[in-house]
Structure 1
Amino acid sequence: MITFKDSIDQMSRIVPEIKALIPLRYRILYLVSYLQPIGRRNLSLKIGITERIIRKEATVLKEAGFLDFTSEGMILTPDGKYMLDLLADYVEEFDGLRGLETRVATRLGIARVILVPDDDDEGLVLKEIGAHCAQVLFDLLPEVKTLGITGGSTVFEVTKAMPQLSAEHSDIVVVPARGGVGNETEHQANTMAEKMAKKIKCQYEMLFIPDSLSETSIQLLKNEPGIKSTFEKMQQIDTLIFGIGHAEAMAERRGLPEERIKEIVEKGAVAESFGFYFNREGEIVDEISTLGITLEKVKSLTRVIAVAGGKDKSEAIIAVSKLNPHLILITNESVATQILDATKAQESL
């Protein structure tokens, strides 16, 4: 069977420039899709080529029906979205991302890795990670009954990217997988659960308490009617979306005393999830009392998605990936390369 790549390879024999033009035009469509409406000047700065080239290529894409020009900037047309999806697999294979995904998944021993291209704009990287996660969740929805979701900036992008569904899903419940962390309400698990539920048109539960509490307080609160209901729902989670945090950064976000943070770091902690601090080998080196999904529950899930991108996340990802072999990891290309380098170094020790 002749693949799309085979066709491009053959066409490049008579139109050699096609292999250079496809990634460029794909990149233009891709950036417009996330940043629309966007002007030619801003787009040229994002891609790192002259505004003259952008003007020429954007005109070609407009005449083909893939872009529209408005007073506010360029926007993607429905045909442009179709072409973007059509080219995605080819361009990612051309860029070597598919092979890299397989190598990282194999090295980590997890079910699947989905990679997004790097970009100087970290916000754009997080947006695409969110979009890929939203697509994975959308595909899984027929199997979901209780969706657990944590907080964080990357999970926030997942809720933004999730499409607004037209049909109601009254059989699904979205619950925060943990209590509140820090003071920023926009990125709290409660907020994520509510936003996601409104996108899916389903039920949701709330948990209006901090993530970090004393063990005595947690045991008392578990018996409060409103909290007890949400806590019981947490234990029914069958699908989980969570972010992976760097140990020191998460300890600071929790507002732990400086001495306590130093103690956690000195124990070799590189990652934090669900109130547990993990070293490079995935071993628990510290923990705090939390009200949220249990680690045993996380380990038992067959639908679990981790989103993490940006700088300095490779060690944290390696550690947390040891929790569950069914894990789907969505991250960016440079992090994947760092993971391969780090795990290769570990194996040689």
Structure 2
Amino acid sequence: MNTRIAISDLFTRDEITELTTKSDLHGGWAVFSTWAVIGGTFATVAGFWEYLPNWGKLLLCIAALIILAGRQLALAIIMHDASHQSLFKTKWLNDTLTDWLCARPIWNDLHKYRAHHLRHHSKTSTMDDPDLSLVTGFPTTKKSLMRKFIRDLSGVTGFKFAVGRVLMDVEKMEWTVSNDRRWIYQEGRRWFDYPKTFLKNSGGAIVTNAALFSALWASGHPKLYALWVLAYLTPFPLFLRVRSMAEHAGMETSHSALTNTRTTKAGYIARALVAPIHVNFHKEHHLMATVPYFKLPKMHQMLRDKGHVDEAPTYWQVLNELSNQAE
């Protein structure tokens, strides 16, 4: 098993200092631009709806679902960066603002996610990695991968996730973002403990989604909230799956981020859907998780110039590599 590499072997002290300098401005732009696209998507659907024939409305809804799911993933990635204290320089902006504007609207919790995710970084690709179940079973066949994608787009994966999140928020199951189920001992709990616990844990998601629904209601288009829910249950799980596959599936079991993590080349479409906020530079992120998102491309180029990493594959190349087993 490869040993964990020392970051001082890759960069000088001055380079590390420059790469890890955080910015409230860039953090704010990540949050603002993501919500601007979400708001613009709702506004576009509302503005064109009455002028389109039925087939045009269907195409508009499909496009909106894809865009909204991509921005839901962006909110998740912003939360991910905040969990490493790398999004904002100011702690309140990083921990509180990001939790309420990014984590809660997608039924998540920054502080719970941080505890879970830091274990993933310390145990990447090992049997103790809490996210291991997300990337096991690869490479697989193209038919198997297509079945996974169909479950995602049909809402099966999203429904299972929603049920799992309810079980976690009533504290029948341990909190996780993976597919593992660890049940919590329930003896002594009374029936009213469950709704009370659910409101305690899901209150933030309820409040922020109520605020989003209220904003749409005030604009005269409350039905558009259904697009937010449908995006969360259908394309969003697919985008999450592709992102997870690209980052760690099919990589070596080792202690080195140079071999257990993958960086993927992302064009405009990939960045809009499965690789927002430069999350595709995942090898760089695992090498030094305190580097803010806007400096990851520079870090990647520095590693290329020093000969530590090769040219990254595209998402299509990764998907093809991970589904190349014979039937």
**TM-score, normalised to structure 1's length?**
0.27
Larger helix percent: 2
Q: Which structure's relative contact order is higher, taking Cα pairs within 8 Å and 6+ residues apart?
A: 2
Larger strand percent: 1
**TM-score, normalised to structure 2's length?**
0.28
Structure label with greater radius of gyration: 1
